[in-house]
Amino acid sequence: MVTRFIPRLSAAIRHVPGRTYSTTTNPRPRRLVIGVTGATGSIFAIRMLQILKSLDVETHLIMSKWAVTTMKYETSMSEDAVRGLASHNYTFKDMSAPPSSGSFLHDGMIIVPCSMKTLAAVRVGYCDDLVSRAADVCLKERRRLMVVPRETPLSEIHLENMLYLCKAGATVFPPVPAFYTRPESIKELVDQSVGRMLDSFGIHTDGFTRWSGFER
């Protein structure tokens, strides 16, 4: 009975009156969702947006209220200037925005910097804002999710939340600077960290020194 019903159902789905179907998919640009929260380190988000824009990667930016406040305190860039680096912008509480749905296709999400509040929200699936919801979507859809926690020292709760997300498939990337490159500026330190973050998404840049063995 069931086996006879399935072909009929499939045929009915294929031939809905008034609807056209296509067997081909239009190619879309490479696309990343960038979440920015209130932890210190907004310079990492700004530099990432600058690099992705130069590489013609489509970016969908979500900034929390405290991300904007921290950014104004830590940098000389205005909110409008930062938002202007992204291809698309959304408000923090806009739960109807495209990244809130699994049907919105993208190549992954980076929360940079990631506050301990956002880390905890993502860990327990408490999606009361667009950043935590978009991250939750990444986990359920098995897409790449990276969190860049900026906190020290770390409590047992912080570490447990990071471990849980790591087991759930997320990448935990504390922005720990590398000194083997002998950096001469903060920009060089930031470029190295941002470059390594993008490596995890298959986006490779040559804007920082990579390890190639001891120089002789």
Express each pLDDT in 72-124 by its tens digit. Answer: 999 999 999 999 999 999 999 999 999 999 999 999 999 999 999 999 999 99
pLDDT given for residue 27 in this prediction: 79
Q: Quick one: pLDDT at residue 5?
A: 44
Q: Identify the residue whose tokens are 């859809």.
A: 141
DSSP conformation letters of 120-188: HHHHHT--SSHHHHHHHHHHHTT--EEEEE--SSPPHHHHHHHHHHHHHTPEE---PPP-TT---SHHH
The C-alpha atoms of residue 207 and residue 105 are separated, in whole angstroms, by: 28
Q: What pLDDT was estimated at residue 9?
A: 44
Q: What is the mean pLDDT of residues 115-141?
A: 98
DSSP character at residue 103: T
Res. 3: pLDDT tops 80? no
Angle 87-194-140 (CA atoms, 0-180°, nearest 5)? 65
Q: Structure tokens of 115?
A: 């506050």
pTM value?
0.87
Q: What mean pLDDT comes out for the span 23-35?
A: 82
Nearest-angstrom CA–CA distance, 55 and 210: 19
What pLDDT score was predicted for residue 212?
Answer: 87
- The pLDDT of residue 35 is 98
Residue 20: burial class (beta carbons within 10 Å; 0-12, 13-18, 19+): exposed
In this prediction, residue 14 carries a pLDDT of 54
Q: Rounded CA gap, 213 and 12, in Å? A: 62
